[in-house]
Amino acid sequence: MEGIVSTMGATATGRLELESDERLVQRARSGEYEAFEHLFDRHRILVYRFAYQMVGRRDDAEDMVQEAFVRAYQNLHRYRDEAKFTTWLLRIVTNLCTDQARMSQRRSNLEQKEAAGALDWMTIGMTNDPVQNLEDERRKAALRSALNALPAHHRTMIVLRDLEEREYPEIAKIIGCTIGGAKLRVLRARRALRDRIAPLLAQ
């Protein structure tokens, strides 16, 4: 009996895995919480990566993931099928990050600075050369600091285009502008970041 139940459960799970995002949203709307959990499983990493790039800390990023999915659940009725679910989800996270950046920009910068300095010697490098590893980590920390010091709208563009490698049409939808507008914003953001890390590039 137990075996039959577990087989049925597995079948239902498999069925949900095959379904599109839009169908899962419909199911979740009608009260099927399991469908929403499937959406969470599918897109959790995407949201987490974006959030981490925006806030630069794992625990903050996880809080952001939670808040984003709770908001998504609350506002499922507002989701329209004409946009991709991931686009809609990223729009929620973008707004969350912008709000959060407004509230705690100063605190975040200070903590980031401290954390970056403290972790320099503890980090395990990518190569076997410890000097090279240290150098990479220093560069990485400097880059991360520069990215976090950017205004939220610039940071969003760098993360979406250069770190998460989203296409311009999708970025335009997430931000709510034209494709040309998205290209221009990305260009301005890159320029702003490049100017910040100019001394680092000269080395």
Partner 1 sequence: MMRNKRDQELLRYAFGELEEGKTEALRNQAENDSELAAELKAQERFAVSLNLLKDVPEDQYSKERLRAAILERCLEPREPAKAKLGWLWMPAVAFGLTFAIMLLPNLQPKAEPMVVKDPNPMRNQMTPPVVLNRTTVVAKKPEPQMTQAAKPNALAFGTAPVQASQKRNRKSYATLVASRSGERTAAPAATQSADPAVKQPVKQTTKPESDPVVLPASNDEPIVIIGALPDAPGRATETEAVTGVLVGG
Question: How many Å apart are CA 166 and CA 178, to the nearest integer?
Answer: 15
Q: Helix, strand, coil: what percent of the chain each, to 5?
A: 80, 0, 20
Which x/- pattern over 107-146 shows residues binding partner 1 (rule: CB under 8 A)? Answer: -----------------------------x--xx--xx--
Rule CB under 8 A: say whether 73 interacts with partner 1.
Answer: yes
Q: Should residue 147 be labelled a site residue for partner 1 when binding is judged by CB under 8 A? A: yes
* Of 6 and 75, CB closest to partner 1: 75
* Least spacing, CB of residue 1 vs partner 1, in Å: 26
Residue 16's CB is within 10 A of a number of other CB atoms, namely 18
The yes or no reply on residue 53 touching partner 1 (CB under 8 A) is: yes
Residue 179 is a binding residue for partner 1 (CB under 8 A): no
**From the list 9, 11, 29, 151, which residue makes contact with partner 1 (rule: CB under 8 A)?**
29
Q: d(Cα 134, Cα 136) in Å, to the nearest integer?
A: 5
- Within 10 Å of residue 190's Cβ, how many Cβ atoms? 15
Count of beta carbons in the 10 Å neighbourhood of residue 148: 22
Q: What CA–CA distance (Å, rounded) separates 138 from 200?
A: 10
Query: What's the one-letter identity of residue 34?
Result: E
Considering beta carbons, is residue 29 or 102 the nearer one to partner 1?
29
Name the minimum Å distance from CB 165 to partner 1.
9
CB 35 within 8 A of CB 68: no
Residue 182 has which token pair? 């998205």
The residues binding partner 1 (CB under 8 A) are 28-29, 31, 33, 37, 40-41, 44-45, 48-49, 52-53, 58, 61-62, 65-66, 69-70, 73-78, 136, 139-140, 143-144, 147, 158, 162-163, 187, 190-191, 193-194, 197, 200-202
